Amino acid sequence: MKVLRVRGQKSDDEDVVLSFVSGQISIASKKGGATIVSETYKRIAHATYVHAKMPKWDPGLPGPPANLDVPGILRSTRHWFVLQSKTSYLILRLDDSNWQQILDTFELRTGLAVDRPAAADK
């Protein structure tokens, strides 16, 4: 899995490990194991999943610019999972092998339903 780091309209990605522990979702670098971001379940306001070329998110909450440049020369369809709080957002690119398990675990642990809008850019 990868996390997208957004800087203005540009973004890059980093291999990460996702953990659901003690009422928090934590994202740690796969390289050094250092926590990149941690958010309590209670602070997550919205979660969006889409299988598309570009991620989607709730425009009423903090998110990246609409014209975000996602890394990759060939933009193929990918599994995108975006978590938003009232003050921040996190964009994850999930692997083909475990995306469903991650969404199921998220819903079970947080009690939030994942929004799954139709992808217009498949």
Domain CATH number, residue 48: 2.30.29.30
119 lies in a domain? no
| pLDDT > 80? residue 90 | yes
Q: What is the mean pLDDT of the chain?
A: 91
Can you give the pTM of this predicted structure? 0.91
How sure is the predictor about 115, in pLDDT bands with cuts at 50, 70 and 90? Answer: very high
Residue 122 lies in a domain: no
- What does the alpha-carbon distance between residue 51 and residue 94 come to, in Å, rounded to a whole number? 10
Does residue 100 lie within any of the structural domains?
Answer: yes
Q: Is residue 42 part of a domain?
A: yes
pLDDT of residue 122: 52
- Does 71 map to a domain? yes
Which domain covers residue 18, as residue numbers? 2-110
Provide the domain count of the chain: 1
90 lies in a domain? yes
Residue 9, in any domain of the structure: yes
Question: Cα dist. 31→2, 11, 36, 62 in Å?
Answer: 12, 19, 11, 28
Residue 118 maps to a domain: no
